[in-house]
Structures are given as C-alpha cells and as structure tokens.
Amino acid sequence: MPEAAIFQGLSWNPLTDLDRLVSYPFMVHALEAGTIVAFMAGVTGWFVVLRRQTFVGHTLSVIAFPGAAAATLAGLPLAVGYFGFCACGALALGGIGGSRRGLSAESASIGSLQALALALGFLFVSLYHGILSGLDSLLFGTFLGITSRQVLLLLVVAVATVSFVAVVARPLVFASVDADVARARGVPVRLLGLGFLLVLGLSVAETSQITGALLVFALLVTPAATAHELTSRPGLGIALSVGLALGVTWLGLALAYFSTYPVGFYVTSLSFALYVLVRLGRGAVGRRRATARFAPEVA
C-alpha cells in the first residue's frame, strides 16, 4: 500500500484516529515494540543518570550505528549488528573505566572510541554498493517493518535486562552513590559496573531499533533525567522514568504515523520539552519559596 494512502493526517476525532492507529498490523507491532523498549529504557536510564554515565550511553548509541551498517553490509539481520557491536562496545568501555586512570584520560578514551565508531559506520555504508534506503532509519528510527518475531526478541531481551537490574538494584544504587564505601562494605563494584554496562549495551541496541542509533540517547536518558528532577526516591523515580518514556513513545509513534516525519524526531522533541518544562517549573517553585522565606525578614 502506498505510504500516502496510510498517512492521511489527523481527523481530529480521537476515536477515529485511534481506530486508524491500530488498523494495520505493522502499527500494532510498532506500539508493542515501543512499549517494551520504553519500559526497559526507563528502568536502565534511571541508573544511567544516577551513575553519571550519560556520555557512556551516548557512545554506545553511536556504536550501534556501525553495528547496523555492518549487518546490512554482511546481509545479516540488523539485530545481530546492533546487539553484537553494543555488547563489544560495553566490554571495551568497561575496560576503559576499570583502568583507574584520571577522569580526563578516561573521557578522552571514550570520546576516541566514539569517533572510531562513527568512522567505521560511514566506512561500512560506503562499502555497501547497493542503495541503502534505510540509512535514515538506522540513524533516526522508524516504525515501518517491525515484525512479530522482532517484538518477541525485544521482549526476551527486555525481560532479561530488567530482571538483572531488579536483582542488583540495591547494591547498584549503593555503588552508584558512593563507590568507595560500597567497596569497603564488600560490594563487587567493578563487577557490578561491568554487568550494568553490558545491560546498558543491550538496552541501547534494543532502543536503537525504534529511535535510531543517533537518537537513542533521548529515550534512554531524557525521561530518566526528568524523573531525577522530580524526585530523588529510587522507587518513585524509576516509576516516573518508565511512565514518561512510555508516554513520549506512544505519543511519538502516533504523531509519526499521522505525518511524514521520523518517530525519533517526535520522541526526542517531546522528551526534551518535558525536561525543559520540569526544569522551568522547579526553578519557578524555588524562586517562589525563596521569596516567601525572605519576605518576613524584610518586613
């Protein structure tokens, strides 16, 4: 079916639009995959922000690009490239982080790895002599062509990822807040960190299949950062992170369905807008409280 026959714009009747949204199997699969990915990204993303590993998460998202390009070049499923490269990238980042060098040297090493990943991605794209019509979707995401088999694979990975995080949540929070004290208490800080990086790599590989390699950062980090602005309580923060990720994913998929713009653009824009609104709201509340506190003293 031609794309124009599907994407006819909003009718401004919510019930009609909802019926159209779920009338095609590919869109149902996209909503299922988006829900799975958003839930997993919300959980792991909260720990990424807590552990101050957003740059690491971004590097893994960049590594996903050459993985997908290499899989395309080799004629393999994209998931093989995503998961394979992100897992190897996580191990490499774990080695960099465990080298006990200074923060500046560690940051430089991570940035260098990111630059290498971008170079490899564009090399694999240039070596592909066919028409790589899916390059935009590799970079910026798409919901077209998601199959029930892919949804099942995403579900398996998400269950494994969230289960691991649930098992190690308490020591992981402890190690993230104060690694030295946790290490003194016998917590295997380095092993936990490596395990979380592998889980993060799987999360990035999974999320990239919806948002694209370059925009995975938005869904993995921005909802979690917004949740951290709203509360410091771990349980409530993770719940908020998941809820925000689900909300922007569902709305982003719907807006992308009724327009010609990629889903990654909408997910990124909505996530950023929510973060900005929360930051502005917190700033306004803080100024109001400060004014109320000093008003009696002035009087």
Q: Angle 234-257/25-50 helices, nearest 10 degrees?
A: 150
Which CATH topology does 13-298 take? ABC transporter involved in vitamin B12 uptake, BtuC (1.10.3470)
Alpha helices in the chain (DSSP H): 3-6, 14-21, 25-50, 54-74, 78-97, 103-127, 135-140, 148-177, 179-184, 189-211, 216-230, 234-257, 263-298
pLDDT of res. 271:
93
Instruction: Give the rounded distance of the alpha carbon of 28 from its chain centre.
Output: 21
pLDDT of res. 168:
92
pLDDT values of the chain reduced to their tens digit, one per residue, 299 residues: 334 444 456 667 677 777 777 788 888 888 998 899 899 999 999 999 998 888 888 888 888 888 888 888 888 887 888 888 988 988 888 877 654 555 566 677 788 888 888 888 888 888 876 555 555 666 666 666 778 888 888 899 899 999 999 999 999 999 988 888 988 989 898 889 889 988 888 888 887 777 776 677 778 899 999 999 999 899 999 999 999 999 999 998 888 888 888 788 888 899 999 999 999 988 887 778 777 766 555 55
Cα 91 to Cα 96, 166, 221: the distances in Å are: 9, 21, 20
pLDDT of res. 3:
43
Per-residue burial over 218-239, b if 16 or more Cβ lie within 10 Å, else e, is bbbbbbbbbbbbeeeebeebbb
Structure tokens at 184: 């003194």
What's the rounded Cα separation, in Å, for the pair 213 and 205? 8
What's the rounded Cα separation, in Å, for the pair 216 and 21? 23
Question: Which region, left, alpha or beta, applies to residue 101 given φ > 0 means left and ψ of -120 to 50 means alpha?
Answer: beta
Identify whether the C-beta of residue 220 lies closer than 8 Å to the C-beta of residue 59: no
pLDDT of res. 296:
58
Flag whether the pTM goes above 0.85.
no
Closest CA to 157 of 41, 251, 238, 243: 41
What's the rounded Cα separation, in Å, for the pair 57 and 221? 8
What's the rounded Cα separation, in Å, for the pair 100 and 249? 38
pLDDT of res. 104:
61
Distance from the first to the final alpha carbon of the chain? 72
Identify whether the C-beta of residue 86 lies closer than 8 Å to the C-beta of residue 63: yes
